[in-house]
Structure 1
Amino acid sequence: MVTAALVLHDSLDKICKTSPGRCYEDEITTCSPRGRSSLFFRSKVNLSEQAEVKLGLAYRVQVPSSALQRSRRVQSDDTVMMVVTMINSSFFPPTPRRSRSRGLISQHPVSIQQTVLGDRVLFVKVGSQSVSNLTERVQLIFNNEKMVKNGRCVFWRELHLMNETGQWSTEGCNTITTREEYICSCNHLSFFAVLVNPELNSKVDERNAASLTYITYIGSALSALFAFGSLIIYVALCRRRPEKALGIHMQLSGALLCLHLSFLSCNLWIFLLNEKEDSWVCRGLGLFLHWSLLATLTWVALEGFHLYLLLIRVFNIYVRRYLLKLCIVGWGLPTFFVVICGILGVYGKYTMEIRDSNNHTSTSQICWMSSEFQQRRLVMYITLAFLCLVVLYNFCMLLLVVFKIWGLRAGRKDYECSDWKKTHKERGTSLWKDCATVLGLSCVLGLPWGLASLTYATLPGIYLFTILNSLQGVFMFLWSVALTCKSKSGNNSSVPDPSSQKMMTTSFNN
């Protein structure tokens, strides 16, 4: 059996503690191994043809001609030196992950507790120039002799800091798993390996992912249609009775319409063109999607703020140009944030990996935050934190609504008639109305977004979150229809209804 430090012998006696990748690269490209080995390749290759190298029976490397041409020093060169070999994975000790990242950790860091397949790292070097961002990817095939499941292709990323080495990262590499092989498709040359038993979301396999995708597309299409309908209804209601709450509902409907249209547009662009590189259109669609999401969350928060003013600060409220100021916050804050992100280059093509029950890995892409952007996780955390704050605040507002309804229900006992059957029937009707009010306000306040925590618990939680949030535009339309019906019934009735439902609806729309 071939030992771990297979080829390099005395060349790897030098310990490279801080920059193992750079140190070993210099050693490998200049050393001459003793004797011949099937696990070391060093030779000149023709630039006009694809280079294919086999290391023993377990490893194969395929470098396209375009990558070879980019590695040459001068344009007149017809050949270039190519080096391929194996190294023991113990020479690459990952740095423990930091609690606070300043852009030094890869956007796809992998846990250091995972093990390298076969304890071997594959090194590929062509020419003297750095090769990255390839349109035609390099393929590296690792033989899976022990049929190890849940493997992922990674490369070694240097941190270039004192007392720090680096980390394994999946950036720029896709994984295709067959019964006997791991096929790594990467857009650069470096030190490569396959980490086994990575932290993957085992709840969503390829079949469930396809079902969730169909649910999302259908729900988003329906939400876009119904959000447009609710927008028309609110415009008509505002013409008859211009109320501030109706104006806020109208702005929220517009934000929801933009959100679902942008989501469908981002997926449609990827589906129709399937471009390999990020284009300005994909970056623009990613910016529009992020802006629509932030605008929707902001207007949902403003719905809760307006409800707070109605329930807590009921008397002596007057804010000059109230709706205009809300519009500045609701549309201006998301615009300011995405403009900064756009200048920093956040947006582009985002790639997700999905594993099926047979351990096959597939990829899905969308125009969103670019997978190549180093600070993508930071932007995602800021967006997620904003979502959590909005949901928490509006949940508190919904609890206040429930307490108000209970208080109004208790105050009605003095006005109830002596007929027990009639009173019991009125109680049942009022209870259903109160439940409908609470459910309607839950959708308006964006509380279904809070179900995102269930996506980390169970597969049914993922389905519930997907269904409710993809149909949010439909729920908004039903709320607008309910307000229209209540408005008509209120105009036709000469005696005011003292029920809590009537009082709550009136309060929420004045």
Structure 2
Amino acid sequence: MVTSVLTTALSVIENMSPGEGEGSKADATSVILKISERLVSALVEPMKTQSIKTVKTPTMEIYVHIIGPEGNISKIPALKCRGNTMAINLPAIAKNNNGSAAAVLMSASGMEKLMSPSFFRTENVTEMYSEIITATLPKINNTELPEPVDFTIQHKKKFQAGLVTCVYWEDKGKEKHWSVEGCTASFSNETHTVCSCTHLSTFAILLQTEEQDVNEDDPLLEWINLVCMCVGLAFLALAILSFLFCSWNPKINNIARLHLSICLFLAQLLFLVGVSRTENTVVCAVIAGMLHFLFLSSFVWMLLETVQLFLLVRSLTKIQVIQREGLRAWYLLLIGYGAPMVVVGVSVGVFSDGYGNKEQCWLEKDKNFQWSFIGPVCSILTLNLLSFCVIIWSLRPTLANMKSDVSQAKDTRLIIFKIVAQFFILGCAWILGFFQSTTVLKYLFILLNSQQGTFIFIVHCFLNKEVREEYRSWLSCLCKAEGPSQSSSSTCVSMAHN
């Protein structure tokens, strides 16, 4: 009888129009709470010793603990309901009520539709962070609590940064709202919060976060991002083709630079077409994992290029001709792709739900999971910066003793300039990404981050005299290809391979 009436009342809640005003919802809440308190009191029967009753349905759960005059109980009982518990000194209450007392803890689905966080007075953004529970002392004359009651309330959402607040439903006639008076959060972690309250009522946990004045849907920002990304991808493609097919100075090792460009190209292309594909959670998680791997690989390849530069500088300090030195190709491939794969694999094992969310296919902020990317990136940037300082300091006396017209010194200066420029181009773009607090920084981040391919092409390809000459050869071949002469086309092929 009790559960059937409450279920009917809750079904009325489910069928309420979303457009109902807050006043109507508050009134409906008061009616439901009064009905539920009267109905659960029917479950309390006179007992000589003690009794525990539980009622469970798909929509509600009720836990009743009754103590009689002959109930020899000294331990404070814990009432449990849907993973939530209430520790109340029921024996002390019984002493003040002729040896008898009863406590009820109840939770019903659908109450949050009426008792929404909008009834809480605050300037912050609020959301319901737990189920709503009701605690009462039915059929008791003296309801004064001898000591505060502790409620351990489970969180119903993943951990989020914000202010966890214990609230109760305060009903003062026409004025009804969530209040914090008499309730404090004594402990809170990622899974639950302990609320200590000096009275019984209907309780919940609210999460308060600061309101962010950010225009998420900025058409101009999205349009600029699309155009800049397409331009950057085009220049990245040209850089990759140049590294693959152009004839380079034998002193230059382009393996790290080539794979850096490939990883950046794939990462930015996947980001452009896949970061908003949130319809399928599995596909979104795979896209986020691939982005994590590709962007980390880009930074690892940038670090490997610094290692190559260090080996080059070491040969220079020995006053010998610069040769194509460095790690072997398969060592570079193993480190360049193996290290990011290990980081992603460990991240998946530690927090498999950290990839993808309803907003975008990237890393979750829950449990600080974004540090699985930020941490390695900051470490690589710091290591690169320190390496450059060591390299430049060790080169200072060597370059000072060289004549300016010595080709070895010129080559070394040019290589150092290009790689240092590349470091600041790639590093500064991501550093700005960590501090997008203003609109100006957002536009600057999009501009620098999307044009990484353009900078790589200009620094390593366009500013290279040999590559420019090969571009001229290709262009002349394209012009001659318009003629029917077979000899011109064969000449073009031979020039392209030189």
State the alpha-carbon separation in 1 of the partners of residues 250 and 28 from structure 2: 69
Contact 2:355 2:361 in 1 (8 A): yes
AA paired with 1:44?
Answer: T
* Residue 395, structure 1, aligned to residue 385, structure 2: yes
Matched residue, 1:333: 339
SS at match of 2:123: coil
Contact 2:248 2:466 in 1 (8 A): no
Report Cα offsets for 1:238-260 as digits up to 9, x if no partner.
x6556662111101000101110
AA paired with 1:300?
Answer: M
1:280 to 271, 279, 282: 282
SS at match of 1:350: coil
Matched residue, 1:176: none
State the alpha-carbon separation in 1 of the partners of residues 451 and 114 from structure 2: 41
Contact 1:59 1:143 in 2 (8 A): no
1:263 to partner: Cα distance: 0.8
Matched residue, 2:376: 386
RMSD: 5.1
State the alpha-carbon separation in 2 of the partners of residues 444 and 209 from structure 1: 26
Matched residue, 2:124: 150
Matched residue, 1:442: 423
1:81 to partner: Cα distance: 5.4
* Residue 468, structure 1, aligned to residue 448, structure 2: yes
Matched residue, 2:296: 294
SS at match of 2:126: strand
Matched residue, 1:226: 235
When residues 414 and 467 of structure 1 are mapped into structure 2, their CA distance, relative to the original with a 3 A threshold, is closer
When residues 322 and 244 of structure 1 are mapped into structure 2, their CA distance, relative to the original with a 3 A threshold, is farther
State the alpha-carbon separation in 1 of the partners of residues 415 and 293 from structure 2: 34
Aligned positions of 1:429-508 closer than 5 A: 437=418, 440-443=421-424, 446-455=427-436, 458-486=438-466
When residues 59 and 462 of structure 1 are mapped into structure 2, their CA distance, relative to the original with a 3 A threshold, is farther
State the alpha-carbon separation in 2 of the partners of residues 386 and 447 from structure 1: 15
Structure of greater relative contact order (alpha carbons < 8 Å, 6+ residues apart): 1
Matched residue, 1:508: none
1:378 to partner: Cα distance: 4.3
Q: Any unmatched runs of 5+ in structure 2?
A: 30-55, 63-105, 133-149, 161-176, 178-201, 407-412, 473-498
1:231 to partner: Cα distance: 0.7
State the alpha-carbon separation in 2 of the partners of residues 415 and 320 from structure 1: 26
1:224 to partner: Cα distance: 2.4
Matched residue, 1:125: 108
Contact 1:259 1:292 in 2 (8 A): yes
AA paired with 2:330?
Answer: L
* Residue 259, structure 1, aligned to residue 261, structure 2: no
1:232 to partner: Cα distance: 0.7
Report Cα offsets for 1:411-447 as digits up to 9, x if no partner.
578889xxxxxxxxxxxxxxx9899747633356634
Report Cα offsets for 1:308-343 as digits up to 9, x if no partner.
222245459997961210111111122233234445
AA paired with 2:271?
Answer: F
Matched residue, 1:309: 311
Of 214-223 and 45-54, more deviation after overlay is shown by: 45-54
State the alpha-carbon separation in 1 of the partners of residues 27 and 204 from structure 2: 12
SS at match of 2:362: strand
AA paired with 2:381?
Answer: V
Matched residue, 2:328: 322
Matched residue, 2:173: none
State the alpha-carbon separation in 2 of the partners of residues 401 and 448 from structure 1: 23
When residues 478 and 415 of structure 1 are mapped into structure 2, their CA distance, relative to the original with a 3 A threshold, is closer
State the alpha-carbon separation in 2 of the partners of residues 302 and 328 from structure 1: 11
State the alpha-carbon separation in 2 of the partners of residues 220 and 473 from structure 1: 9
SS at match of 1:368: coil
Contact 1:252 1:299 in 2 (8 A): yes
State the alpha-carbon separation in 1 of the partners of residues 260 and 462 from structure 2: 16
Matched residue, 2:353: 346
1:233 to partner: Cα distance: 0.7
State the alpha-carbon separation in 2 of the partners of residues 60 and 216 from structure 1: 49
Contact 1:282 1:349 in 2 (8 A): yes
Aligned positions of 1:15-414 closer than 5 A: 42-45=6-9, 50-52=14-16, 57=24, 59=26, 125-126=108-109, 141-143=116-118, 148-156=122-130, 171=158, 195=207, 198-202=209-213, 205-206=214-215, 211-237=220-246, 245-270=253-278, 275=279, 278-312=280-314, 314=316, 315=318, 322-342=328-348, 345-351=352-358, 365-369=359-363, 376-399=366-389, 410-411=400-401
Report Cα offsets for 1:357-388 as digits up to 9, x if no partner.
xxxxxxxx1112357xxxx5343223211111
AA paired with 2:353?
Answer: V
User: TM-score, length-normalised on structure 1?
Assistant: 0.51
SS at match of 1:245: coil
Matched residue, 1:11: none
Contact 1:300 1:444 in 2 (8 A): no
When residues 445 and 467 of structure 1 are mapped into structure 2, their CA distance, relative to the original with a 3 A threshold, is closer
Report Cα offsets for 1:28-48 as digits up to 9, x if no partner.
xx99xxxxxxxxx94425869
Matched residue, 1:108: none
Contact 1:229 1:477 in 2 (8 A): yes
Contact 2:107 2:131 in 1 (8 A): no
Contact 1:216 1:467 in 2 (8 A): yes
Contact 1:255 1:292 in 2 (8 A): yes
SS at match of 1:295: helix
SS at match of 2:266: helix
State the alpha-carbon separation in 2 of the partners of residues 472 and 217 from structure 1: 14
Q: Any unmatched runs of 5+ in structure 1?
A: 1-29, 32-40, 63-71, 75-79, 84-122, 132-136, 174-181, 183-189, 352-364, 417-431, 493-510
SS at match of 2:237: helix
When residues 453 and 280 of structure 1 are mapped into structure 2, their CA distance, relative to the original with a 3 A threshold, is closer
State the alpha-carbon separation in 2 of the partners of residues 370 and 265 from structure 1: 19
Report Cα offsets for 1:266-292 as digits up to 9, x if no partner.
23524xxxx3xx432222112111111
AA paired with 1:50?
Answer: E
**Percent identity among equivalent residues?**
18
When residues 325 and 141 of structure 1 are mapped into structure 2, their CA distance, relative to the original with a 3 A threshold, is same
Contact 1:52 1:61 in 2 (8 A): no
